[in-house]
Structure 1
Amino acid sequence: MPVSNQQVVRHGFLGELYGDSYYPGHLLDKGKAILLALEEEFVAADSEIETIARDAIGEDFAFVASAYGFADADVEELIAAREW
């Protein structure tokens, strides 16, 4: 099932990275596909990424930030632009 949220469809996932030759385009394409497929798979399974799932994803963002030395990062700021 294709993504129906037009905001998601128009969003240039990983856009800033595509302009940098350090990041291989084919790997960015994989990451973009994963991000888009996440919503599609939930919808196809008659489910959605709701409050509990959003909180769990937010906690994982906090973990990743901390693991890379950003323990003081504001999780709400990290996920503020989310559409999930």
Structure 2
Amino acid sequence: MTIQNHQMASHPFLKTLRGDDYYPAGSVDRCGQVLLRLCERIESDRPADLTALYVLTHAATEEINDLQDDDGFDIETVAREAIAEEFWVVARAYGFEDADIEELVATRDW
């Protein structure tokens, strides 16, 4: 599926983590792919409200939790904030300006 939202289709996910040798490029790429799939899910499922959006973001957060476990991706303070910020950018891009950044990633273990 191609992302229809032009802002998200061209968004450089996790730009702050890319190019920093501390963060493995493959792990950052996989995390970015999770965020792209989240955009696809939002476009295909069209959440009616914040509660429905949170269901989708929690599932994506669980995928990132798994990346941390499988890849050994160290999601420390800088990465944690960058990833949470990307969830918030996605929510806003799809019209959920009132989304709570902490609730978007409430299921995180990072």
Is TM more than 0.5 here?
A: yes
Kept in 2: contact 1:13–1:32 (CA 8 A)? yes
Distance 1:39 1:50, change over 3 A: farther
Higher relative contact order (CA 8 A, sep 6+): 2
* Alpha-carbon distance between aligned partners in 2 of 1:80 and 1:34, rounded to the nearest angstrom: 14
Identity %: 29
* Alpha-carbon distance between aligned partners in 2 of 1:35 and 1:54, rounded to the nearest angstrom: 13
Structure-to-structure mapping, 1:1-84, within 5 angstroms: 1-44=1-44, 47-51=45-49, 52-54=51-53, 57=57, 81=89, 82-84=92-94
Kept in 2: contact 1:39–1:48 (CA 8 A)? no
* Alpha-carbon distance between aligned partners in 1 of 2:88 and 2:28, rounded to the nearest angstrom: 22
Distance apart, 1:41 and its partner CA: 3.2
List gaps (5 residues or longer) in structure 1.
Answer: 62-67, 69-77
Count of residues paired in the alignment: 65
**What's the TM-score, normalizing by structure 2?**
0.46
Distance apart, 1:49 and its partner CA: 3.2
CA RMSD of aligned residues (A): 2.9
Q: Which of these two proteins has the greater Rg computed from alpha carbons?
A: 1
**What's the TM-score, normalizing by structure 1?**
0.58
Kept in 1: contact 2:42–2:53 (CA 8 A)? no
Name segments (4+ residues, structure 1) moved above 4 Å: 55-58
